[in-house]
Structure formats: C-alpha cells, structure tokens
C-alpha cells in the first residue's frame, strides 16, 4: 500500500521550465515540436513530457544505463530519449508510429551517432526477442517509456507474458495513467487488485517510484500519471504456466463478488476439490487471495485438475 506521501503528485516538474535549454546542446523540445509540426495526436495516445527535470528523473529510475540497450516506445519529440542518452545509455531502440516524430528524432541521431535506432512500427506487432537478436543484442536490455496510454496495458501484459522466462529485459521503468499504475501494485483487499496485479507481482517486483500531475504533460491529460519500476523475478514461485495463471484469474475475477466455489466453475467442474487441495476456503473471494495463492491454484490445474 502506498503512503500518503506517495499519493501526492511529484513536485519537481513545477519548478523546471518545460521544454527549456538542454545540456546536450539540442534545441528546446517546444522548438522541436514547432519545427516538425508535432502537435500531439489523441488517436496515438500522445501526451508529451517536456519537463527536462522529469525526463531525467524517469531515466534515472531506469538506470544505471551505462553499457545498456534501452527500448523506448513512443518517443515523440525525444525528451526521454535525450535524457536516457545523457544518463549513459549505450544504445536506444525507439519505436515510433508517427512519421513527424521519426523526422524530429534525426536531430538526436546526428547528435549521438550510432546510438539511436528508430523503428517505424506498431509496438504491439514487434517480436521483441527476434528484433534484438537481429541487431546482435542478447542481454542488458532495459525498457523505459512514457507509454502511449491507449496501448500501455496491452504492451505491459505482453512483456509480462514473455516466454521463455527470465525475459529478454532486465527491468522496466514505465509511465502509466495513475489508475493503471495502482492496478499493477495493488494488494489483496484493495479495490484496484485484479488480474494485472497478480501477473505483474508474480513475475516481477513492482513498485510506484514517483507520480505526476496532469500539468506535467502537453496536452494535460484528464488524469494523473505514475512511473512504475518492474524488475523480473528469476524464478517466479509457486511455479506454474503463465497461461494457466491467466485462466485462473480470468475465472476468479470475472465474477469477483462471488465465492470462489461459484466463480471457478468456468475453470473446472470441481472447484471445491481444487480449492481444498490449495488450502483455500471455498467461501473465499478472488479479491482476498494472495498472488501466491493464485499461482498455487494454477500449479494444481497444470498438474491435471482441469
């Protein structure tokens, strides 16, 4: 659970001139936006983070970056991209669908020769492990991004379901809408606790590292945001199939107000037998089970209870 201090938006950005001069010698971000007619598009889920203090803060949360390859999704005008390079990233692979942003990033490529690869593609369609292998990259990969909000959860789930495990990345520092961030780190009994929390916390250590108000972005979204740091567990326990865990949580949270002996009927014809073997009361409800209990249920199903 977060403390009251954690719930307050981060205040660092209020004192920093958004889009101001950068120590890398590149133009202010607001100038980049004007030059390339890079007004944010709602259809692409774009909300640009222009405050250099905040982009550096996000980059530091992803670090240390020396010698590492960083995957960035939706770099836009390049504020976070530049911060990652200033923090010592060896190489950045930036995935961007907006041709205007791709053009704007050429300035960064010229300033940092050989350190920025821009991939004009839909991030949801990329075979990440194959993409890295084709570029001769096998380890020390970090994902850092102010994710487009319209695909953020889909991307995260895809990364959390990566196989084989441990995954191709070492850690993720990701910006989400505050509501999504709270769903990732929620604990049993919290109204935000659900399927996303279970898979995220089973496979990773996850915590919110800082929060931002809408005023930190251009244009300001209607909701606050938060950065979540996720570090993969080398051997998630109890061991089970990630797909089976997904089936268990789908059944349980699909009817979260019902007792598990009812909600799990869509998973198995003998839910009480399954629950008894897991040491869980049939009268319990999904929102009160721990991550470990969900994984235990999945492990039993894997052994043949389905």
Reported as a single tens digit per residue, the pLDDT across 21-73 is: 568 899 999 999 999 999 888 887 788 998 989 999 999 999 899 999 999 99
Q: Is 269:216 a contact under the CB 8 Å cutoff?
A: no
d(CA 275, CA 267): 12
Cα 188 to Cα 72, 195, 264: the distances in Å are 31, 11, 18
pLDDT value at residue 21: 52
pLDDT value at residue 289: 98
pLDDT at 6 over 50: no
CATH topology of domain 4-232: Rossmann fold (3.40.50)
How many CA within 13 A on the CB side of residue 245?
A: 28
pLDDT at 7 over 50: no
Same fold, 4-232 and 242-305: no
Q: pLDDT tens, 211-223?
A: 999 999 988 889 9
Q: Is 286:261 a contact under the CB 8 Å cutoff?
A: no
* Residues ≥6 apart with Cβ < 8 Å to 257: 285
CATH topology of domain 242-305: Helicase, Ruva Protein; domain 3 (1.10.8)
**Residue 199: both structure tokens together:** 């898979």
pLDDT value at residue 16: 42
The DSSP annotation for 225-256 comes to EEEEEEEE-SS-SS---HHHHHHHHHHHHHTT
Q: Spell out the domain ranges in the chain.
A: 4-232, 242-305
Q: Is 92:115 a contact under the CB 8 Å cutoff?
A: yes
Q: How many helices (H) and strands (E) does the chain have?
A: 14, 9
Q: Kindly state the DSSP code that residue 173 receives in the 8-state scheme.
A: E
Q: pLDDT tens, 142-187?
A: 999 999 888 999 999 999 999 999 999 999 999 999 999 999 999 9
d(CA 277, CA 296): 9
pLDDT at 19 over 60: no
């Amino acid at each position: 659970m977060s403390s009251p201090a954690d719930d307050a938006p981060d205040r660092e950005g209020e004192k920093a001139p958004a889009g101001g001069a950068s120590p890398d010698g590149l133009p202010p971000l607001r100038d980049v936006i004007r030059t390339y007619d890079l007004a944010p598009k709602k259809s692409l889920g774009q909300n640009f983070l222009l405050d250099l203090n905040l982009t550096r803060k996000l980059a530091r949360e992803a670090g240390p970056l020396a010698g590492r390859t960083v995957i960035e999704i939706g770099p836009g005008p390049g504020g976070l991209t530049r911060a990652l390079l200033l923090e010592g990233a060896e190489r950045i692979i930036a995935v961007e669908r907006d041709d205007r942003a791709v053009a704007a990033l050429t300035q960064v490529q010229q300033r940092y020769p050989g350190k920025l690869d821009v991939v004009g593609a839909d991030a949801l369609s990329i075979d990440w492990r194959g993409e890295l292998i084709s570029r001769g990259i096998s380890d020390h990969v970090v994902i850092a991004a102010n994710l487009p909000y319209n695909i953020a959860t889909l991307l995260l789930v895809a990364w959390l379901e990566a196989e084989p495990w441990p995954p191709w990345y070492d850690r993720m520092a990701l910006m989400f809408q505050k509501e999504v961030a709270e769903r990732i780190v929620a604990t049993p009994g919290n109204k935000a606790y659900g399927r996303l929390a279970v898979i995220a916390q089973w496979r990773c250590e996850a915590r919110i590292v800082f929060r931002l108000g809408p005023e930190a972005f251009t244009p300001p979204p209607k909701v606050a945001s938060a950065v979540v740091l996720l570090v993969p567990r080398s051997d998630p326990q109890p061991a089970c199939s990630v797909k089976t865990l997904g089936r268990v949580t789908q059944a349980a949270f699909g009817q979260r107000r019902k007792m598990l002996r009812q909600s799990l009927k869509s998973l198995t014809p003998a839910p009480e037998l399954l629950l008894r073997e897991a040491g869980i009361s049939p009268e319990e409800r999904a929102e009160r089970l721990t991550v470990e209990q969900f994984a235990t249920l999945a492990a039993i199903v894997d052994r043949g209870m389905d």
